[in-house]
Amino acid sequence: MRDSAIAGMSAASAATFVGIMGLFNGFGRILWAALSDRIGKMPAFVGILGIQGLALLALPHAGSVALFWILAAIIDTCYGGGFCTMASTAGKFFGVTHAGGIYGLMLIAWSIGGVVGPLLVSSLAGSDNNYTLAFTVVGVLALIGAAIPLITKQPAKPALTE
């Protein structure tokens, strides 16, 4: 069986890459959880989405495999961070009384994104497998997500904390 090139990597290198990216996902959960405790939940969430958006915009323009790996590591670190900070961010913003339901809605949206995202990326990449447009769209969406907390006001009276 012949290895096919994936982002300039053999299939074996790509498999190694996926495993290493899982480590960055886990590292991001620890890093961003600690960082959100120091700088605040919303600033951390804005940082996660902003950094991830910029890395997604840069990814299709990576001129080397090393730069591709670095950008992918940044994206996965932020992905892990986003997942681990969602619940505490919802609790901080809306109060713990409503955090569970809101976190559930966030996870539903996250799951829908996990199904729709690859379909969207595939359709944007087209038959020539050019992912520049796809990564641009996803990067812009992440940057829009980073801007939303900056323009959204916290409810006047958060629910009682427990």
Per-residue pLDDT of 80-111, as tens digits, reads 999 899 998 888 888 888 888 999 999 999 89
Is residue 94 within 8 Å of 149, Cβ to Cβ? no
Residue 160 has what pLDDT?
A: 56
Q: Give the span between the Cα atoms of 21 and 36, in whole angstroms.
A: 22
pLDDT at 34: 96
Average pLDDT over residues 111-118: 91
Partner residues linked to 72 by β-bridges: none
The residue to which tokens 């989405």 are assigned: 49
72 touches 59 (CB < 8 A)? yes
The residues, any chain, with a CB within 8 Å of residue 22's CB and separated by 6 or more, are 76
Does pLDDT of 1 surpass 60? no
Q: Taking residues 112-135, report their average pLDDT.
A: 89
Return the bridge partners of 9, or none: 6
Task: Look up the pTM and report it.
Answer: 0.84
